[in-house]
Structure 1
Amino acid sequence: MKVLIAGAGRLGTQFAQVLSAARNDVTLIEHDESRCAELAAMPSVHLVAGDACEPAVLECAGAMTCDLVVAATGKDEDNLVIGLLAKRQFGVGRVAARINEAENAWLFGPQWGVDVPVPATTPLISLIEEATGATDTVALLRLSKAGVEVIETAITEDSRAAGHLLGEITLPPGTVVATVVRDGRPTVPSPDERLLPGDELLLVSHEATEQEIHGVFH
């Protein structure tokens, strides 16, 4: 599946990492060049710096041939414009758009090109299921065609992994840490990343169970 995501905040970035780990073709658009630089090392995700409200930017990012567009910026007006352009100008088959302000929810519908309205409080699992049409849920999400599980775990004061470098942790076969979220900001971790209490980890695995992941970190 070819996916185009507008907005590299926490939700958009996690969505991109999960779908790219499941071997989808993912492009992430972000207008903030410094944010793009932060995410430059994100594996298997194409980054495009620009304003997704501009048709030329959407076209350059591949909107004409994508299967799904996710408008995940922090501004409702931008998400509506992106949704409308994706549907009306580029004929995208499925468009999901984030609702930041509840009072604007009534706008997020077919009249603005939105197939899947996503309230800001929607968990990642629900966003992925609704946007992609995935129905096979295991742990956070199992993408049935790819056989991939996405498992989330949190580091606490009592976690055996707290204070250790990520490279010191022996993960189950076929498992990678896709994201470390610290103070609300997702990063692509390196083996030298020291895990701290409060960190949230998003792992992608072809084989491990949720219990096995919990055993490794706790």
Structure 2
Amino acid sequence: MYILIAGAGKVGRYLAQNLSEMHQIGSIDLNQTHLSQLEGKPNITTYKGDATDPKKLEEAGILRADIVASVTGDDEDNLVIAQLAKQVYQIPRVVARVNDPRNQWLFTREWGVDIAVSSPQIILQLISEEVSLGEVLTLLKLRVGELSLIEVTIPQNSP
């Protein structure tokens, strides 16, 4: 499987290094310093360029990508990259990072995003669930929160 990651900052490098153990990775970024930390690693190919530019995306192999992950530090860029990936190149799965939770409403399937990932939103949700559910533990969410696998601990003295 070929995964194209737009953004080679901390998040992009972490994804590339971990996913490269089982997949071919393309990493595209404007910052050569970020890319140089990935160069020479097995299964990772780096591309210097602007991932909002279709020509640069094509150089980075978007035409053969199974998944595109847009994880730059800029929401506008992430949304443009996601739209290009989904609407122009028909990439089956597009994941986009949401840096500012106020922009979450834009990161939808209509805008080309299959999965939107917002760290502050995830932390808020985890805390809210922990506070409201007590002994109920969410083990796994499927289909973007539509289904959940949960564990409930019932005390022995419970009726």
**Interval of TM-score (by shorter of Structure 1 and Structure 2):** 0.7 to 0.9
How much does 1:51 deviate? 0.5
Tell me how large the CA RMSD over aligned residues is: 1.8
Paired residue secondary structure (1:57)? helix
Q: TM-score, normalised by structure 1?
A: 0.54
Distance 1:65 1:38 in 2: 24
Task: Tell me what 2:77 maps to.
Answer: 78
In the TM superposition, what are the counterparts of 1:49-88 in structure 2 within 5 Å? 49-88=48-87
Contact 2:95 2:117 in 1 (8 A): yes
Q: TM-score, normalised by structure 2?
A: 0.73
Q: Percent identity?
A: 41
Task: Tell me what 1:10 maps to.
Answer: 10
Count of residues in Structure 1 that have an aligned counterpart in Structure 2: 124
In the TM superposition, what are the counterparts of 1:2-41 in structure 2 within 5 Å? 2-22=2-22, 24-41=23-40
In the TM superposition, what are the counterparts of 1:109-124 in structure 2 within 5 Å? 109-121=108-120
Paired residue secondary structure (1:36)? helix
* Larger CA deviation: 49-58 vs 34-43: 34-43
1:159-198: CA deviation from partner (whole Å, max 9, x where unpaired): xxxxxxxxxxxxxxxxxxxxxxxxxxxxxxxxxxxxxxxx
Greater fraction of residues in helix? 2
Q: Which runs of 5+ in 2 are unaligned?
A: 124-140, 143-159
Paired residue secondary structure (1:48)? strand
1:22-51: CA deviation from partner (whole Å, max 9, x where unpaired): 2x1110111112222233233321100000
Distance 2:65 2:105 in 1: 26
Distance 1:52 1:114 in 2: 16
Which protein is bigger by CA-based radius of gyration?
2
